[in-house]
A and B are shown apart, each in its own frame.
Chain A
């Protein structure tokens, strides 16, 4: 028999990726996730800061304009007072002064961290204070009744110049402020842009990672399928080998059984022919010797003794021959041979052996197998079963021959036959070597049924 080629050692396909890959991939994925969170959070905070700061800048601009407006209010109140002399014009003048102070304070507060703008605020404040003092001086001169003086002061155009200076200072402050606002707005746009690209990049990376994962996954699946296919191939090959070995073993067992039976038949034949012939010849000689005339009585006695020993020898020979090869099977056929076997078993067991035997068509070897099966089963019944009744049947059944030996004894568990008991296995091998099948039904306390089905010849 040819043996299959030895399996070549294979790389373990599932481990090809390397053991360090997985932790790295997890770390990368974590890093990516954290970066995404941090990026969006940072963008949000920067945008929020910028918007808050823009809101503040707006109120600072308002404050700067309030400075100009309150100075204008003061100026118009001053003019109303100078023209009419009515003291109620002085109320808005005072309120506007208050408002001016507040606006300047707000500006200082707002720009306290920005030295450049703070300097511009101080300059505006100086210009405003100059304008306020000019107005206050005019009003003071008016109150003192020095009309010529305040009119002269007004005519010098100094008031307009002061106001112009305040406007310029305000414009510078607001212009600077505007530049700052534009800068910050640009920063917001930049932040948003960065955020946008960050999100795009991360989304793209995620897609790439997902694609990579899918590729890896399908590669893994492919390798798993390949691995399963390899296992299947290996299993098929093993099954094939097991099948071949089983067939070979069955053939060998059949051959051993046949050889053994042939050997036994040969020895039985030799014993029967040679030994039997000699013993019978001796018996015949004794028959003639006994009839010799004038033989003394003691001689006859000796002859009797010799004949007795001879008969014992013949009985021994006959038992050996019958054990080696059932003569009835050869001379009378399967059914009478089995009848004899059942009668003998019934006598030695002391219980009825009910035989239901019908003529079947089997080859000589299969007949011998059936005979041995029944013989072995009856031996098992005698040794182990403690049966009260035994049934033996050989029946033709639709192109097959059904043989059964059943008892109502103590039974056994067929799965736990102790080692060294090869009787049942031997029966199975013999039956299978003829293409038949052997089944054993038994359980403790439920009796035993040995059943064989063989193809008819």
Chain B
């Protein structure tokens, strides 16, 4: 199975490290790049190497994941975007979905769901 080429937008190095190793270990995921701020992520969006999935945190070192979602939407990016956040309130979920996010996962209690979703995406895309 061909792994999902994934770009990670996350400002916390501890989380990044563990997330990458977990996703790569448990699912069909290959993290090909990461950004710690909105501007880094947007810059990457402008010259994208081929990529399937973007996992975006909302609270970043500078800027916001919402800005990244907006930029991706504006650029009509074909890649899937999902949000992984500590602040998954209904309002935020709604906003993220409106900005083109496929899913919103709560960092504290929906990690398993993210892993499962990635696996599913890998399977549906495989054939």
Contact = CB atoms under 8 A, between A and B. Distances in A.
B40 interface: no
A186 interface: no
A276 interface: yes
Q: How large is the interface on B (under 10, 10 to 19, 20 to 34, 35 or more residues)?
A: 20 to 34
A327 B60 CA distance: 12
A336 interface: yes
Contacts of A314: 108-109
Interface stretch (B1-9, B13-21, B43-51, B71-79): B13-21
Contacts of B95: 332, 336
A276 B107 contact: yes
Contacts of A272: 59, 86
A318 interface: yes
Contacts of A219: none
Nearest to A340: B91
Contacts of B87: 327-328, 331
Interface stretch (A105-113, A144-152, A209-217, A281-289): A281-289
Contacts of B107: 276, 280, 283
B39 interface: no
B59 A283 contact: no
A280 B110 CA distance: 11
A336 B94 CA distance: 11
Contacts of A284: 15, 18-19, 21-22, 111
Contacts of A281: 14-15, 17-18
Given A273-B12, A311-B109, A332-B95, A318 B115 contact: no
Contacts of B64: 330-331
Contact of B12 (A277, A318, A340): A277
The interface residues of chain A, by DSSP majority, are classed as helix
B27 to A, nearest CB: 10
Contacts of A339: 91
B46 to A, nearest CB: 23
The interface residues of chain B, by DSSP majority, are classed as helix
Contacts of B120: none
Contact of B111 (A283, A291, A336): A283
A278 interface: yes
B62 interface: no
B63 to A, nearest CB: 11
A315 interface: yes
B86 A278 contact: no
Contact of B14 (A277, A318, A330): A277
A360 interface: no
Given A276-B107, A280-B107, A284-B19, A332 B92 contact: yes
Interface string A273-310: 10011111101110110010000000000000000000
Interface string B81-107: 000001101011001000000000001
A51 B75 CA distance: 136
Contact of B22 (A277, A288, A331): A288
B32 interface: no
Nearest to B91: A336
B18 A285 contact: yes
A330 B112 CA distance: 27
A277 B25 contact: no
B107 to A, nearest CB: 5
A330 B115 CA distance: 28
B118 to A, nearest CB: 12
A327 B92 CA distance: 10
B18 A276 contact: no
A16 B111 CA distance: 92
A143 to B, nearest CB: 169
Contacts of B89: 328, 340
B59 A318 contact: no
Contacts of A273: 11-12
Nearest to B25: A288
A288 B12 CA distance: 19
B86 A288 contact: no
Interface string A38-61: 000000000000000000000000
Contacts of B91: 328, 332, 336, 339-340
A287 B86 CA distance: 17
A279 B108 contact: yes
Nearest to B23: A284
Given A287-B115, A331-B92, 7 more contacts: A272-B86, A273-B11, A279-B108, A288-B21, A318-B86, A331-B59, A332-B95
Interface of B: 11-15, 17-19, 21-22, 25-26, 58-59, 64, 66, 86-87, 89, 91-92, 95, 107-109, 111-112, 115
Interface of A: 272-273, 276-281, 283-285, 287-288, 291, 311, 314-315, 318, 321, 327-328, 330-332, 336, 339-340
The 5 closest A-B pairs by CB, nearest first: A314-B108, A277-B14, A277-B12, A284-B18, A281-B18
